[in-house]
C-alpha cells in the first residue's frame, strides 16, 4: 500500500545487521498478530503487540540512519513537516488512533475531531480546484508523467495547514500511536529542507524508510482483515469515521 515518495533522491540506506535483527522481530510480531486472529483491532492484545512493533520500528530506523553516517533530524516535538495530508494509513491504525483520541480530555478530543473535519473539507476543496486546473487546455499537453495525485498532495503541503493532531504546543497528541507513514518520513540531517516551500527541491534530504516486502505484505493482510471503510486510507477521514462509531 505504501508508495515511494518521488522527491526521495538519496540511494536506499544500507541496513546494518543490528537493524536487520530488529526488522526480523517486527516481522515476527506482525505474523503473530495475524496468527492470533484477534476479533477486533481494538483488542488489547492487538493494540499492545502493534505498539511494540512500532516501537521496534523506531529502533530500526535509528540503527539504519546511524550506520549510514547520516543524522536523524526528526524526533518528538519536531513538527515542521506536519502539514502533509496523510493519505496512506492502514485501517487498523486509524481505528487505534480513534480509540486513543477518545481517551484524551474531552476538550482536546473535540478539538481534534473538529480539526479533522476542517482538514478533510480543505483537502476536498483543493482536489476540486486541482482537477479543474488540470482540465484546462494549457495542462492537457503536459508530460504524461505528471501525476495529478502528487500535484494535489504537494499543493496541499504548501498551504501549510497544520496537522489536526498537533496540540496547542505544536506537539503530536497521538505520538505513541502515530501511523507508520508519519514514522517512515524522515529527514537525514538538514531540517532546513522540511518547510513546505522546499518540497520540490531536487537536493532534498527527506527520505522514506519503509519496511521490506514481507513486512509490508503482512501489514496489507492486517489492513484487509480489519478494514471497515473500503477505499479510504486517508488518516483524517478514516479517524472521523471511527470516532463516529458508537456515538
**Over the stretch 200-241, which tens digit does the pLDDT of each residue have?**
665 567 788 999 999 999 999 999 999 999 999 999 999 999
Q: Is the pLDDT confidence value at 195 over 90?
A: no
Contacts of 114 (CB under 8 A, 6+ apart): none
Q: What is the mean pLDDT of the chain?
A: 88
Calculate the alpha carbon distances from 45 to 39, 52, 62 in Å: 10, 11, 26
The answer to whether residue 58 sits within a structural domain is: yes
136 found inside a domain: yes
Q: How confident is the model at residue 3 (pLDDT cuts 50, 70, 90)?
A: very low
Whether pLDDT at 69 is above 60:
yes
The confidence score (pLDDT) of residue 8 equals 41
Farthest-apart Cα atoms in the chain, separation:
55
* Total domains in the fold of the chain: 1
Classify residue 3: in a domain, yes or no: no
Residue 52 lies in a domain: yes
pTM of the model: 0.88
For residue 108, being part of any structural domain is answered with yes
| Residue 151 falls inside a structural domain | yes
Domain span at residue 179?
17-244
pLDDT of the residue at 19:
95
Q: Is residue 103 part of a domain?
A: yes
Distance CA 56, CA 63 (A): 11
Q: What is the DSSP letter of 192?
A: G
Q: How far apart are CA 116 and CA 138, in angstroms?
A: 34
Report yes or no on 100 lying in a domain: yes
Amino acid at each position: 500500500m505504501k508508495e515511494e515518495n518521488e522527491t526521495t533522491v538519496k540511494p536506499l540506506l544500507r541496513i546494518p545487521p543490528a537493524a536487520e535483527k530488529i526488522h526480523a522481530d517486527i516481522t515476527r510480531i506482525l505474523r503473530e498478530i495475524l496468527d492470533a486472529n484477534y476479533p477486533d483491532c481494538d483488542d488489547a492484545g492487538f493494540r499492545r503487540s502493534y505498539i511494540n512493533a512500532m516501537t521496534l520500528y523506531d529502533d530500526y530506523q535509528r540503527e539504519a540512519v546511524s550506520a549510514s553516517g547520516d543524522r536523524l533530524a526528526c524526533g518528538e516535538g519536531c513538527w515542521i513537516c506536519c502539514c502533509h495530508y496523510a493519505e496512506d494509513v492502514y485501517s487498523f491504525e486509524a481505528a487505534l488512533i480513534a480509540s486513543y483520541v477518545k481517551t484524551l480530555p474531552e476538550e482536546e478530543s473535540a478539538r481534534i475531531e473538529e480539526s479533522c473535519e476542517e482538514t478533510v473539507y480543505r483537502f476536498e476543496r483543493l482536489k476540486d480546484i486541482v482537477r479543474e486546473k488540470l482540465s484546462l487546455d494549457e495542462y492537457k499537453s503536459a508530460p504524461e508523467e505528471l501525476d495529478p495525485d502528487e500535484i494535489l498532495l504537494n499543493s496541499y503541503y504548501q498551504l501549510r495547514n497544520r496537522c489536526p493532531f498537533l496540540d496547542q504546543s505544536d506537539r503530536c497528541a497521538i505520538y505513541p500511536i502515530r501511523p507508520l507513514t508519519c514514522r517512515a518520513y524522515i529527514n537525514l540531517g538538514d531540517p532546513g529542507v522540511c518547510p513546505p516551500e522546499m518540497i520540490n527541491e531536487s537536493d532534498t534530504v527527506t527520505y522514506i524508510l519503509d519496511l521490506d516486502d514481507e513486512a509490508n505484505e503482512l501489514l496489507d493482510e492486517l489492513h484487509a482483515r480489519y478494514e471497515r471503510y473500503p477505499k479510504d486510507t486517508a488518516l483524517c477521514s478514516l479517524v472521523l469515521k471511527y470516532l463516529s462509531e458508537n456515538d
